[in-house]
């Protein structure tokens, strides 16, 4: 968070004031193999903080790492001609399976939509994922209606800037387990998934995911990779999000508010 001088206009009057603005900076992600080769993987625009979570969450949800033991070390690169702490290198362990041709999708992610920069339609196909129809908790409708406000109350940086998305994991009783904020909704989710990855806590079968914005294809794809079967979005779902949820047996809730919500797929998990 940084403070910026602004001119505040209200009606016919104006005054100078200081305003809090959410920080957005690039993060370059690199993979280093046990053989000493280093590969540039992606650049994402993110809110600094929880970068280890973000990096491992992104790599896991894109299928480039599969388990905690794949990662030997995580480090910032400070010997490059960019601002310090804006380049992250993941050192793979000897047992990690990594194929450089997996990078031919030419990742470029932005804070608004990580799919936009994929090099081909094949890059956004979901491969190797199994149905979650037997997984996930049953959650009461009254609990779902509380999730948006609990998520919002936990957004400390949003409270001061109004400029961040959030992703949070909850148990079936509506108790929050982890919350992450970022300028990008998919980054916020990667931070949540990465946290669980580093704690060797994947798949996430018994938690409910709540996101502050809409439910897009990429949100559903990342949730599916992490084994999250119940997704609650404050905003609307896209048609592809509904398709993914339907195909893989996920529960997708949209327009979640205190007054009510829509269930698009997986109604059996809502009581």
Dump pLDDT digits (tens) for 113-149.
444 445 444 554 566 788 999 999 999 999 999 999 9
Task: Based on the fold, state whether residues 173 and 260 are members of the same structural domain.
Answer: yes
Integer angstrom CA distances of residue 52 from 134, 190, 192, 196: 31, 10, 11, 11
Give catalytic status of residue 77 as yes or no: no
Integer angstrom CA distances of residue 170 from 79, 143, 202, 235, 254: 40, 10, 15, 18, 16
User: What is the percent of the chain where pLDDT is above 90?
Assistant: 62
- pLDDT value, residue 220: 94
Q: How many domains does the chain have?
A: 2
Domain region containing 191: 141-269
Task: Based on the fold, state whether residues 96 and 191 are members of the same structural domain.
Answer: no
Would you say residue 20 lies in a domain? no
User: pTM of the entire structure?
Assistant: 0.86
Task: Based on the fold, state whether residues 185 and 221 are members of the same structural domain.
Answer: yes
- pLDDT value, residue 107: 53
Task: Based on the fold, state whether residues 93 and 149 are members of the same structural domain.
Answer: no
Task: Based on the fold, state whether residues 246 and 147 are members of the same structural domain.
Answer: yes
Task: Based on the fold, state whether residues 120 and 162 are members of the same structural domain.
Answer: no
Provide the strand spans (E) within 67-221: 71-76, 87-92, 165-170, 176-182, 208-211
Would you say residue 34 lies in a domain? yes
pLDDT at 218 > cutoff 50: yes
> What CATH number should be reported for the domain holding residue 173?
3.40.140.10
pLDDT digits (tens, 9 = 90+) for 144-173: 999 999 998 887 765 556 668 999 999 999
Which residue has better confidence, 123 or 239? 239
Would you say residue 226 lies in a domain? yes
Would you say residue 132 lies in a domain? no
Would you say residue 210 lies in a domain? yes
């Amino acid at each position: 968070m940084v403070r910026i001088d602004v001119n505040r206009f209200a009606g016919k009057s104006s005054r100078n004031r200081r305003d809090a603005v959410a920080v957005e900076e690039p993060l370059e992600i690199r993979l280093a193999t046990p053989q000493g080769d280093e590969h540039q993987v992606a650049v994402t625009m993110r809110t600094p903080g929880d970068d280890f979570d973000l990096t491992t969450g992104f790599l896991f949800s894109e299928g480039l790492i599969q388990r905690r033991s794949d990662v030997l070390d995580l480090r910032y690169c400070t010997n490059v001609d960019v601002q310090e702490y804006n380049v992250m290198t993941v050192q793979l362990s000897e047992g990690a399976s990594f194929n450089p041709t997996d990078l031919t999708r030419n990742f470029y992610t932005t804070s608004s939509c990580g799919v936009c920069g994929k090099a081909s339609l094949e890059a956004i196909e979901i491969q190797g994922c199994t149905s979650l129809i037997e997984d996930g908790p049953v959650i009461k409708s009254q609990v779902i209606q509380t999730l948006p406000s609990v998520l919002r109350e936990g957004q400390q940086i949003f409270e001061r800037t109004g400029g961040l998305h959030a992703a949070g994991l909850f148990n079936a009783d509506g108790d929050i387990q982890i919350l992450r904020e970022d300028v990008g909704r998919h980054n916020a989710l990667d931070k949540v998934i990465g946290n669980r990855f580093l704690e060797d806590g994947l798949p996430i079968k018994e938690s409910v995911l709540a996101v502050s914005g809409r439910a897009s294809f990429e949100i559903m794809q990342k949730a599916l990779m992490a084994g999250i079967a119940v997704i609650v979005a404050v905003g609307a779902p896209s048609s592809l999000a509904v398709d993914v949820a339907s195909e893989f047996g996920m529960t997708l809730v949209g327009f979640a508010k205190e007054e009510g919500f829509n269930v698009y797929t997986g109604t059996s998990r809502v009581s």
